[in-house]
Chain A
Amino acid sequence: MSSQCLLETKGIYKSFGPTRALVDVNLKINRGEVRGLIGENGSGKSTICSIIAGAQTADEGEMILKGESFNPKGNVDAQMQGISMIVQEAGTISGITVASNIFLGNLKQFTKGGFLSLRKMNQAAKKVLEEIGIPEIDPTALIDTLNFEDRKIVEIARAMYSEPEVLIIDETTTALAQKGRTIIYNTIRKMQEKNKSVLFISHDLEELMKVCNTITVLRDGNFIGTLTKEEMAIDKLRRLMVGRDLSGSYYRADYDGSCDDEVVLEFNQVTTGVNVENFCAKLHKGEILGLGGLSDCGMHEIGRAAFGIDKLLTGNVKLVKEGKNLIITGPEMAIKNKIGYVSKDRDKEALILTASIKDNIVSPSLPLLSKATFISPASEKKMSQEQVKTMEIKCYSDSQYCNELSGGNKQKVVFSKWLANGSEIFILDCPTRGIDVGVKANMYALMYELKKAGKSIIMISEELPELIGMSDRILILKDGVISGEFTRNEVLSEHDIIEYMI
């Protein structure tokens, strides 16, 4: 490994409104190095990466690339200078072809006399896709015909065609299954072989330790330290990230999978427009029911069905309340009967980003707060401040806007919505997606408390460890039907479950 420095940042500062995202961050990345970057949500990982990739500018500080001062004017400019980034959220543009997505903003090379040569562009796209090892994607296909995973792979192609010196991967693997992961790992290895560098962000500590030579830890925008391969250990990393010892266990400690016999929610022959076929299941009082499988196995649709979001083709979801059976007809009715739903797409579905924490928390509770048509500001304030306090939402006041919060804090706000209105049944779709260990531990503790208080939870998750760690009972789905059922026990392992998924 050559120790020649490829990229260096010196004294980077960045603030968003009153939030200090980065404080004096100094990074030095050598050629041939795969650098991991970890930290809790809001620690500034994504911010430093987007500054390096040119998507944002720093308030203070300088960057040096290959010995020269580096001031990118935007993503495309940064890419032309040798820095590519694969972003966390879906970053493809719908309505255009795969090839157009790959060469987004860089069509000049295929243009002659004002005309774009589609043939040349498609050929070039084909070549890039072959190079990263996925020749089966057709460059002329519309991006919308691809599934989420393949779209992500198209983004990898977009990052790689310019043969970057530094590749930044921002929490991409969390959204990918094995195929996509393999492609990313291969890409990283190739970069390393060519003596180039990779900056890799992930919440998966084991993955980081496997892939990276060195790992840098950030906390609250501060540079905490860089560990070499020899120094890496999961406990040490966690401690550095959180800044204190995480006491006790991560998941619940008991192996008692029993719960009340009383059924609170019943799925009868539920068939949805997508994926799910004749799904039958019962949720009991005080039970944590885990739903697992591959991302398109239908489990997300079941969550939506339980909340009445989508129309069902056949069957129904029955709520048993005070001995009476009620059919779920829509979110309004579901909420009235104390069901809460945490969507897997937090920013697009669960939150109003351009509204305050308070406005978000009270949004499902407005009918409860209304006294003879009047909603008093004091009652709203009381409700939201209670939640901010019990959920320990990090903010300067509950009037702070949600788009200024970190991922973990946003998720706390979403949970608060349903705690505040006294929900009895919680449907949690990927409740810990993109959340760091600190907040994750909080969420698990909260779920356990809810269970103890007799609330019922459906937890839909793509992460087997948390399903095994938290559920009383796990249902595994494959292609829309139940392929396996497991009750809580000590010896249950991922290995036992995986074969039912694929």
Chain B
Amino acid sequence: MAEKVLAKEREEEKQRQAELIHQMKRKNRINAIVPFLGLIFIILFFAIVTGGRTVNSSNLINLVNQSYTLIIVCVGAAFVYGYGGMDMSVGYVQGFISVIIAVIAMNHGVPVWMILPISIICGMLISSINGIVSVCTRVPVFVVSLCIMNICKGIVATAVADTDIYMPYSEYSGWNNNVLKAIVLTVIIAAGYYVFEYTQIGKKMKVMGGNITTAKHSGINVTKYTILAYVIIGATVGTVAFFTLTRTGVVTASTGSGLMLDVMTAIVLGGFPLFGGAKAKIRSAVVGAVTVSVLGNGLTIWGLNPNYVDGVKGILFLIIVYISYERKKGEIFN
């Protein structure tokens, strides 16, 4: 008799266990689609409040041009944030690269087609300084990149002190081409997705983001992969610097200035863990980038003074981090 009661209890316990597992899986699924739902919500919201002006064809092309930059850099940023790093320097690195390639283009020293590779290589070199200095000096990369940011900002300010630098626009207008941009964008997302999710590079970086000591003990060369992460983000920044310049044709003191906040907001909006690790996904970075672009674009069309848009993004960033950041509760001693 007692045996039977026990067996019944065990059965009930099993069912309860299954129920809990089911609940958790559902919660995980919901968490995974929240960023997508957020994006759809924002698109619908702005389409309604602006009477459809955000979704007409001319604005969509505009939007592609605006989000294009951010999506590419966010693919690179996934590697940096994925391993647990941070990069405050992206915006002014873009500015610095723009100065270099604009000067080269002005002097007509090299063939036009070589400017894009030069831009990418400059990006890789400049950005890798973040990783190299941080690894060699053991200064947190957050601090190093803040310094690099200021150095680049100073260089750009000096270069444009007398007058803004203009590209010989006519020679490069062919590059400001939506089909070409779409191809580049697709290739970068696909390559980023492959490398981050299916190769040693991405997987090792996620291990580092999860626990750097475990990463070392698992035979991962953390020095190499730290630097590599900055080389990758540098390549994306270099790409973006070139295409932005072919569109605007001019380098000013504010070139690239808002990029850093946009990247960080995009990363957290997309559900990418701010300190990296196993939950880091390329798709989060991309969805976040699109969301931030739609938001900035929508707010402007809705009639918000463009100067306030950064303020709104800052507040949004804080709110998202507040909601998504995992805090341990009730633990004082640990």
Contact = CB atoms under 8 A, between A and B. Distances in A.
Interface of A: 15, 17-20, 23, 54-57, 74-76, 87, 89, 91, 104-105, 307, 309, 331-332, 334-336, 341, 343, 348-356, 359-360, 362-364, 366-367, 370, 373-377, 396, 417
A349 B217 contact: yes
Contact of B219 (A18, A91, A336, A377): A336
Interface stretch (B17-25, B44-52, B70-78, B115-123): B17-25
A94 to B, nearest CB: 13
B15 to A, nearest CB: 12
A343 B213 CA distance: 11
B8 to A, nearest CB: 15
Interface string B262-299: 00000000000000011100000000000000000000
- Would you list the 4 A-B pairs with minimal beta carbon distance, nearest first? A352-B210, A355-B278, A335-B219, A18-B20
A175 B87 CA distance: 41
A69 to B, nearest CB: 19
B207 interface: yes
A87 B332 CA distance: 12
Nearest to B20: A18
Given A352-B214, A363-B207, A373-B199, A74 B330 contact: yes
Q: How large is the interface on B (under 10, 10 to 19, 20 to 34, 35 or more residues)?
A: 20 to 34
A18 B17 contact: yes
B113 interface: no
Contacts of A377: 198
A364 B333 CA distance: 32
A331 B219 CA distance: 5
A65 B210 CA distance: 41
Nearest to A353: B211
Interface of B: 13, 16-17, 20-21, 23-24, 198-200, 203-204, 206-207, 210-211, 213-221, 277-279, 330-334
A76 B204 CA distance: 41
B334 A89 contact: yes
The B contact surface, by secondary structure, is helix
B277 A350 contact: no
B219 A364 contact: yes
Contact of A375 (B13, B199, B215, B219): B199
Given A76-B332, A309-B216, 20 more contacts: A17-B24, A18-B21, A55-B333, A307-B217, A309-B217, A331-B217, A332-B220, A349-B211, A349-B214, A349-B217, A352-B211, A353-B210, A355-B277, A356-B278, A359-B278, A363-B207, A367-B200, A370-B200, A375-B199, A417-B218
Contacts of A343: 217
A351 B211 contact: yes
Nearest to B211: A352
Given A352-B210, A363-B207, A366-B200, A396 B216 contact: no
A323 to B, nearest CB: 24
A338 B129 CA distance: 34
B291 to A, nearest CB: 24
B217 A75 contact: no
Nearest to A367: B200
A213 B81 CA distance: 54
A331 B216 contact: yes
A89 B21 CA distance: 29
A352 B277 contact: yes
Contacts of A331: 216-219
Contacts of A87: 333-334
A225 to B, nearest CB: 14
Contacts of B17: 18, 20
16 contacts: A18-B17, A20-B17, A20-B20, A74-B330, A75-B332, A91-B333, A335-B218, A348-B213, A355-B278, A356-B278, A367-B200, A367-B219, A370-B200, A374-B199, A377-B198, A417-B218
Nearest to B201: A373
A356 B203 CA distance: 13
A281 B215 CA distance: 28
Contacts of B23: 18
Contacts of B211: 348-349, 351-354
A56 B219 contact: no
A373 B191 CA distance: 12
B330 A359 contact: no
B260 to A, nearest CB: 26
Contacts of B333: 55, 75, 87, 91, 104
A366 B213 CA distance: 17
B210 A355 contact: yes
Nearest to A23: B13
Given A307-B217, A350-B214, A352-B207, A55 B330 contact: yes
Nearest to A374: B198
